[in-house]
Amino acid sequence: MTVPVDVETGPRAPASAFLDPSLLQSAPDKGEIRIARDAGVSGAAVNVLIYLDGRHVVNVDANRVAVLRVPAGMRKIGIQYFNVSEPVEYHELRVEPGKHYDYRISGTAGLLMGEWRFERLN
């Protein structure tokens, strides 16, 4: 099993993990999508790719929180485990300016092939 990471206080994904640097910049017309990837040995070596509206935008390591600052409107946030040949799991949400939306990536059993979950927290 993995261990939850607090979305508010957990270590942040470094800027170098982001493929789109505009997602690091705050603006009055943006909201935040915060994705906490659990800590722990189980699944720590697995690559987790995050997509926004169909584009690969950030890779998130275990025990990290990726904070995406995105323009308001309808958005699709997606998670892909292992590599780009695997399917992407998408969630749709309406982002409002100044609001935040929290997600958790967790896993169970096995270092690689355990069961993975991507769930909205709020």
At 112 the pLDDT is 54
Are 29 and 72 spatial neighbours (Cβ–Cβ below 8 Å)? Answer: yes
Q: Which two tokens stand for residue 79?
A: 């998670």
pTM, to two decimals: 0.91
**Domain limits of the chain?**
15-120
pLDDT of 56 reads 95
- Using CA of residue 14, residue 104, residue 88, residue 97, what is the dihedral sign? negative
Is the pLDDT score of 14 beyond 90?
A: yes
Residue 49: Cβ within 10 Å count: 19
Q: Residues, the chain, total? A: 122
Determine contact, residues 112/46, Cβ cutoff 8 Å.
yes
Q: What is the CATH number of domain 15-120?
A: 2.60.40.1120
Q: Which strand ranges, in their side-by-side order, compose the sheet holding 100-108?
A: 64-71, 30-37, 100-108, 115-120
State phi, psi for 18 to the nearest 5 degrees. Answer: -90, 130
Higher-pLDDT residue of 116, 103? 103
Q: Given this model, what pLDDT does residue 46 score?
A: 79
Whether the pLDDT of residue 84 is over 80: the answer is: no
**pLDDT given at position 109:** 57
Supply the mean pLDDT for the chain. Answer: 91
Q: Is pLDDT above 80 for 108?
A: no
